[in-house]
Chains A and B, each alone.
Chain A
Amino acid sequence: SYVLTQPPSVSVGPGETASLSCGGDNIGSKPVHWYQQKPGQAPVLVIYSDGRRPSGIPERFSGSKSENTATLSISRVEAGDEADYYCQVWDRTTEHLVFGGGSKLTV
C-alpha cells in the first residue's frame, strides 16, 4: 500500500515561514491535499490539488510539489496556526485514500 511520510514535528517562530514536508514514492504524479487539525476539533481542508486554497483559507497557506516531496508552506506564522497538519493522496492502484502520519507545528 502507498505510504506518505511526514516529520512528526516542526517548530518555527512567530512571523517566520513554516515548511511541512510530505514524502511518497513518485508523489509528483499524485495530487496532494493538506488538512489542519487543532486539538479536539475536526480536520479542516487548507490546500487541495497541490496548491489550491478553499474559500476562507488565508493566502499565507500555499502548497508545492517536486518529484518525491510535497510541501505545505505557511508564511508569517501566527500562534493560531499551531496544529497538526496531514497530507493526503488518493492511490489509484487500490482506490484508497491515504493520509500521512501528520506533523505537529509548534509556534
Chain B
Amino acid sequence: QALVVESGGGLVHPGGSLRLSCAASGFAFSDSYMAWVRQAPGKGLEWIAYMWAPTSGSRKYADSVQGRFTISRDDTKRSVYLQMNSLRDEDTAVYFCARRAGHCDRDACYYYMDIWGRGTTVTVSS
C-alpha cells in the first residue's frame, strides 16, 4: 500500500525556522516527483513546492515561499523534507506531502497528486 507520512510540525515564533519530514513507502520513491501542499485554516489548497532528483534544477516553488522554503530529499531514506525559514503568521497551515504523478506528451503535461499524507500542522505565532 502506497503511503506517505508527514512529521515535524509544531508551534514556532514569527521569523523562526522549522523542518518538516515526509516518509514514503509502498511505491518507487526514487522515480517519483514529491510535492508539498498546504492549507491555511478555513482556506483552500495551495501548492508550495515539488522536486524530483536531488539537484537544484529540478525544484520549483510557489512565489509565496520562494527564497524562504527549501525542498530536499534523501532517496536512501525514502524521505522528502521541507526546510522553512523566516516563517510568517500566514504560513500557519496544515502541510501535506504528496506524490506528483503524471507524464507529458507532445500536447500537454498531465501532472497531479495521487498519494497524499494526512498532514502535519504548523502554527506560526508569538
Q: Which residues of A contact B (CB under 8 A)?
A: 1, 29-31, 33, 35, 37, 41-45, 48-49, 54, 84, 86, 88, 90, 92, 95-102
A98/B47 in contact, CB under 8 A: yes
B44/A101 in contact, CB under 8 A: yes
Contact flags B22-39 to A (C-beta < 8 A → 1, else 0): 000000000000010100
A96/B114 in contact, CB under 8 A: no
Q: In the bound complex, what is the Cα–Cα distance between A84 and B119 (angstroms)?
A: 17
**Min CB distance, A66 to chain B, in Å?**
16
Which bucket holds chain B's interface residue count? 20 to 34
A99/B111 in contact, CB under 8 A: no
The answer to whether A90 and B111 touch (CB under 8 A), given A43-B116, A97-B50, A97-B100, is: yes
The answer to whether A99 and B114 touch (CB under 8 A), given A29-B108, A31-B109, A90-B109, is: no
Known: A31-B109, A41-B118. 19 other contacts (CB 8 A): A29-B108, A33-B113, A37-B45, A42-B116, A43-B113, A44-B116, A45-B114, A48-B110, A49-B102, A49-B110, A49-B112, A84-B44, A90-B109, A90-B111, A92-B108, A92-B109, A96-B60, A97-B50, A99-B46
Q: In the bound complex, what is the Cα–Cα distance between A33 and B101 (angstroms)?
A: 11
